[in-house]
Amino acid sequence: MTHIPTHSRSDAQSPARAEVEAHHDDLDALRVAYFSDPRRRLTLKKGETLLRTNERNTRLFMALRGSLSARIQDADGSEYELFRATKGMFVGVYSLFSRTYRSWTHIVAQEDAELAYLESDVLKSPGLDGTILYERFMPIIIAEMMIRHQRAKELVIERVRTIESLIESKKMISLGQMAAGIAHELNNAVAVLQRNTVWLSEGIGTLVDDEHASFAPNYHKGVEDGRTLASREVRARTKELEALLKCSREVARLMAEASLPEDAVDPKDPDFEAQVRAGHRFWEFGAAFHDMRLAAKHATHVVKSMKSLGAKHATRHSGTDLNESIQEALTLLRSPLRRVHVNTSLARLPAITANSGELVQIWTNLIKNAAESMHQAKTPEPTLHVTTSSAEMGIRVEILDNGPGISSDVLPRIFQPDVTTKVGGLTFGLGLGLTIVERLVHDYGGTIVVDSEPGATKFTVDLPTTQSHA
């Protein structure tokens, strides 16, 4: 890639895992209170079934040890894994929280496993603190859904890497067959995750409207807009609110993150801080669903890309907003960019005919690898500049970082397959590699060039406003 990352993607904390850690104390309290009764335990031997598809289920299970595989059946009757539950994860989430009380997957022990469980009627009862357990579990369940999205995305990435090795080996016939097979295998799983994210976000939205109407605007703003402010903007807004409202820095930060206006809550209200925290939490739930929808959309495109690898072109649409595709890439990469100063200067651009998913893949590759390079080099004050402008022949996108640069022996071959400066090869962002990025850019009739020296590596992509397939 642009740079030579030397760690795997598992090293970086995912947004899903961060969300789980944020609710770690709640999870521990729930585990002790409701999953520690030895009378509500069961064990499974490797290969034993916990639930069959469409089997009635009124229990929420927590894995105490071992792992379980949740599988769904394709139209031709073949089973494939949708997600895997390991220690501390829940099983039976959909059947209970959708209140269908039917398992929609076939759940089998991948190894000897032990589970604790509670019955659905317990969830409807007040907990030890008087709160209905459905409400106590909601943040944990949202985090659980995010983990499943993340794992499904990782599964897609692993399959794409397999395809990439076939491209590099020039096994194009096998590639086409394998791409179609893998895309067929993954398509239903990704579609299910996408549908259920929409269903869950809308269902919780209705619940918020009915039960917490005063915080409904916060939730819906999170769902619709996500996290709109960069870290630098949040810091600036925090200082402004802290001075204006004479409140604590923490409260000001929560208001800034959720884009709450200064008059949203009266600072003289004795419940001011509690109201701000609650408003932020509802916004955070909505923003989590926004990110999950975006990730599901991107995973869907990756699957479609796999399907079309043997074909000439993906479907392209007029009226595509290139700046929006850059914003989507930055949202997807929030975790690896959390310690990077990101500066964007996005000019007003004409709409182009393009496939939005292809554009997101291009920017994701370039931006993620710049971030990884700066991280590995321990670059002081790592900074990324993303700039768009109208050029003589169309649109120009420049991605500049202040990392270590690309070595002079690698730079001339950077767009070739199998380019590596470490044992084991490169880790190519979303598994597409600069070879495929270059092919996508050229297929739009555009160009991509790189200039690099220590402290400044810049990729420049020029795209015509009217594309004709190359």
Nearest to 110 by CA among 90, 88, 134, 81: 81
Structure tokens at 167: 């491209």
Task: Give me the mean pLDDT over the 134-151 stretch.
Answer: 71
pLDDT value at residue 226? 83
Indicate if the pLDDT at residue 49 is higher than 70: yes
pLDDT value at residue 364? 87
Q: What is the pLDDT of residues 167-225, one digit of tens each?
A: 554 444 445 555 566 666 677 777 777 788 888 888 888 988 888 888 889 899 988 88
Indicate if the pLDDT at residue 325 is higher than 80: yes
The number of helices, as runs of H, and strands, as runs of E, in the chain is 13, 15
Structure tokens at 30: 């729930």
Q: Out of 41-45, 145-149, 215-219, 436-440, which region has the weakest mean confidence (pLDDT)? A: 145-149
Q: 3-class DSSP state for residue 46?
A: coil
Q: 3-class DSSP state for residue 109?
A: strand
pLDDT value at residue 62? 92
Structure tokens at 88: 């501390």
How far, in Å, CA of 133 to CA of 142, rounded? 14
Task: Give me the mean pLDDT over the 115-125 stretch.
Answer: 84
Indicate if the pLDDT at residue 113 is higher than 80: yes
Confidence bin at 433 (pLDDT 50/70/90) = low
* pLDDT above 70 coverage of the chain, percent: 75
How far, in Å, CA of 340 to CA of 370, rounded? 10
DSSP class of residue 141 equals H
Indicate if the pLDDT at residue 56 is higher than 90: yes
Q: Which residue's entry shows tokens 């598992």?
A: 10
Q: 3-class DSSP state for residue 390?
A: strand
For residues 336 and 53, which has the higher predicted lDDT (pLDDT)?
53
How far, in Å, CA of 305 to CA of 388, rounded? 25
Indicate if the pLDDT at residue 317 is higher than 50: yes
Residue 31 dihedral angles phi and psi, to the nearest 5°: -65, -45
0.75 surpassed by pTM: no
DSSP class of residue 331 equals H
Cβ neighbours of residue 62 closer than 8 Å, sequence gap 6 or more: 31, 35, 88, 89, 90, 91, 115, 116, 117
* pLDDT above 90 coverage of the chain, percent: 28
pLDDT value at residue 424? 36
Express the helix, strand and coil content of the chain in percent, nearest 5 each. 50, 20, 35
71 in Cβ contact with 85 (< 8 Å): no
Cα distances from 172 to residues 167, 169, 346, 365, 455, in angstroms, run 6, 8, 38, 23, 38
Confidence bin at 254 (pLDDT 50/70/90) = very high
Strands 106-109 and 49-51: antiparallel
Q: Domains of the chain (ranges plus CATH)?
A: 313-464 (3.30.565.10)
Task: Give me the mean pLDDT over the 232-243 stretch.
Answer: 89
How far, in Å, CA of 50 to CA of 71, rounded? 12
pLDDT value at residue 466? 74
Tell me the longest C-alpha to C-alpha distance in the chain: 74
Q: What is the pLDDT of residues 383-392, one digit of tens each?
A: 999 999 998 7
Structure tokens at 389: 């402008």
The per-residue pLDDT of the chain, averaged, comes to 79
How far, in Å, CA of 441 to CA of 395, rounded? 12
Confidence bin at 459 (pLDDT 50/70/90) = very high
pLDDT value at residue 155? 66
Confidence bin at 142 (pLDDT 50/70/90) = confident
Cβ neighbours of residue 344 closer than 8 Å, sequence gap 6 or more: 230, 326, 330, 385, 386, 387
Strands 383-391 and 41-44: unpaired
What distance lies between CA 165 and its chain's CA centroid? Answer: 24
Q: Out of 37-51, 219-233, 377-391, 446-460, which region has the weakest mean confidence (pLDDT)? A: 219-233
Indicate if the pLDDT at residue 44 is higher than 90: yes
Indicate if the pLDDT at residue 419 is higher than 70: no
Confidence bin at 310 (pLDDT 50/70/90) = very low
Confidence bin at 238 (pLDDT 50/70/90) = very high
How far, in Å, CA of 281 to CA of 22, rounded? 12
Q: What is the pLDDT of residues 268-296, one digit of tens each?
A: 888 898 989 988 999 999 888 888 887 77
Structure tokens at 329: 């890439």
Indicate if the pLDDT at residue 16 is higher than 50: no
Task: Give me the mean pLDDT over the 336-340 stretch.
Answer: 85
Task: Give me the mean pLDDT over the 333-350 stretch.
Answer: 88
For residues 116 and 303, which has the higher predicted lDDT (pLDDT)?
116
Q: Which residue's entry shows tokens 């015509």?
A: 464
pLDDT value at residue 467? 58
Confidence bin at 427 (pLDDT 50/70/90) = very low
